[in-house]
Structure 1
Amino acid sequence: MRWKLPAGVLMALAFLVPAAPAMAQTEPPVLNEACQTVERKVYKDIRELVTIDLDTATDVEVRVLANQILAAAKADSLPVLPDAIQERLDGTADDLRAFLKADVQNAWSTALRITVVRTLTGAGANVKAAAQKALDEGTVDAYLAYLNNGLYAARALDCASQPAPTATSQPTPTPSTTPSATTTIAPAPASSASLGAPGGGEGGGLPVTGDGTATVAGIGGALLLLGGAGYLIGRRRRSRFVA
């Protein structure tokens, strides 16, 4: 059959056929769930990819279109749709053609609806109201309008209504006095010589007694004896010289 071409050839054809015209300008940044500035995410309208007549297109053209839609669904992180397309790509050419003609729109709508519901997690009042409005309408156009524009406008309102965080003044911690090592001042050693001791100051002191006194007295006695003996010897010599 003609549609059974190598996978590489089909993928090359899918990328050669432009999926969408390049955007003329960069999308302005938006706010995410945490009210932080991020790049805007734009969900692709896959109806713009269908540029062939599915009744008269060849099997190769149909498979190329299916791969383009699959790439767009994966880029938008859509649920449901990528698996549904891949299942048909693994089947016959007739099943794939029938799916693209009748069922791809329903699968895409379901994927967009689930994506809208996911934005309600932790959402503010404005986002919830905008999402509910899109869900109530229940059309592909309503889902795309909400995901590409309404969500960000409502989120900007929710972020603007949040109270600005006030800087709480933290008390300056009082530096605690670190106990220092106690310096023990040793008392000055008392002088062994009292004020009344000899040589300890003016005015003299008490006389020295005890063993020191006996020694001095002994020496003095010995000197007296020697002096007396010397006197007697000198006297005798003088008497002899006179005689």
Structure 2
Amino acid sequence: MRWNIPAGVLMALAFLIPAAPAAAQTEPSGLDEACQTVERKVYKDIRELVTIDLDTATDVQVRVLANQILAAANADSLPILPRVIQERLDGTADDLRAFLKADVQKAWATDLRITVVRTLTGAGPNVKAAAQKVLDDGTIDAFLAYLNNGLYDARALDCASQPTPTPSATPSATATVVPTPASSASVGAPGGEGGGLAVTGADTATVAGIGGGILLLGGAGYLIARRRRTRFVA
């Protein structure tokens, strides 16, 4: 006999039946890809939800279990399992029961593997090494241990090994070279440095003019004195 129970009733039963005996608690913090402190995402072990014998359970019990697994898969943002379970829920009770008995863990393991591979994007060396190790292992237990704990431990090591950024040095002001004003004193002036150098420019022309005038006057005086001496002798 097939049970025609509304989906809303099944969902209500799924939430009324506790998925786990422990009460919800705040998860420990960890680091994200940017080394920022965040709350850890804990992936549910759906094997703990299977508390019935799938061979002897009623169709209602099987559907309730399927809805519990669907809720956990959606909460973990798994890429494959939610769609597959929903397809089985829309099918027959026998197909749903057979899927839960044989194939649900296969689909779930594929989802966990995909999730582990996604953590490699932008990962550091410790995360890459830890992820590769569990991918080589390939078991559900290894995937869950990595996603819930190993990933955060490896990421903490990668973040701790990053160099601490140092503040950039403030560029110093460029020194402006102020030309030293030339001394107003002549280079050849007394008391100045480099004494003994010849006077040049306008001062030289003046001195030369005066000297020339003196020479002319001296020559003229000599000629006049000579003529007077000549006349006197005669």
- What RMSD in Å do the two structures reach over aligned CA positions? 1.5
Aligned to 1:112: 112
Cα deviation code 1:156-206 (max 9, x no counterpart): 0000000011111344789xxxxxxxxxxxxxxxxxxxxxxxxxxxxxxxx
Residues 184-223 of structure 1 aligned to structure 2 (within 5 Å): none
User: Counterpart of 1:78?
Assistant: 78
Q: Does 1:14 align with 2:38?
A: no
Alignment correspondent of 1:157:
157
- Correspondence 1:138 to 2:134: no
8 A Cα contact 1:130 1:146, kept in partner = yes
2:138 partner amino acid: G
Residue in 2 aligned with 1:58? 58
For the 8 Å contact 1:11–1:67, the answer to whether it is kept is: yes
Given that 1:66 and 1:89 are in contact with CA atoms closer than 8 Å, whether structure 2 keeps it comes out as yes
* Aligned residue number for residue 181 of structure 1: none
Q: Deviations over 1:122-144 (max 9, x none)?
A: 00000000000000000000000
Quick check: 1:49 aligned with 2:60?
no
Q: Distance in 2 between matches of 1:135 and 1:27?
A: 25
Question: Aligned-pair distance for 1:76?
Answer: 0.4
Distance 1:24 1:84 in 2: 27
Tell me if the contact between 1:30 and 1:152 (Cα under 8 Å) persists in the aligned partners: yes
Change (3 A) 1:38 1:172: farther
* C-alpha distance in 2 between matches for 1:24 and 1:62: 25
Q: Equivalent residue of 2:101, what SS? A: helix
TM-score by length of 2: 0.71
* Whole-Å separation in 1 of the counterparts to 2:168 and 2:21: 51
| Residues 169 and 21 of structure 1: CA distance in aligned 2, closer, same or farther (over 3 Å) | farther
Work out the percentage of aligned pairs sharing the same amino acid: 84
Instruction: Give the direction of change, closer, same or farther, for the CA distance of 1:173–1:76 in structure 2 (3 Å limit).
Output: farther
CA distance, structure 2, for counterparts of residue 72 and residue 96 of structure 1: 17
How many equivalent pairs are there?
174
CA shift for structure 1 position 7: 1.4
Report how far residue 23 of structure 1 moved.
Answer: 4.6
- Stretch of structure 1 that moved more, 13-22 or 115-124: 13-22
Is the 1:42–1:148 Cα contact (8 Å) retained in structure 2?
yes
Would the alpha carbon gap of residues 166 and 13 (structure 1) be closer, same or farther in structure 2, given more than 3 Å must change?
A: same
1:26 deviates by 2.6
**Aligned-partner residue type, residue 122 of structure 1:** G
Give the Cα separation in 2 of the matches to 1:17 and 1:101. 20
Q: Which residue of 2 aligns with 1:89?
A: 89
User: Would you say the 8 A contact 1:2–1:60 is kept in 2?
Assistant: no
Give the alignment's TM-score, normalised by structure 1: 0.69
Q: Where do residues 174-185 of structure 1 align in structure 2 (5 Å cutoff)?
A: none
CA distance in 2, matches of 1:25, 1:9: 28
Deviations 1:17-69 (A, max 9, x none): 01123357532210000000000110000000000000010001000000000
SS in structure 1 opposite 2:103?
Answer: helix
Which residue does 1:184 correspond to in 2? none
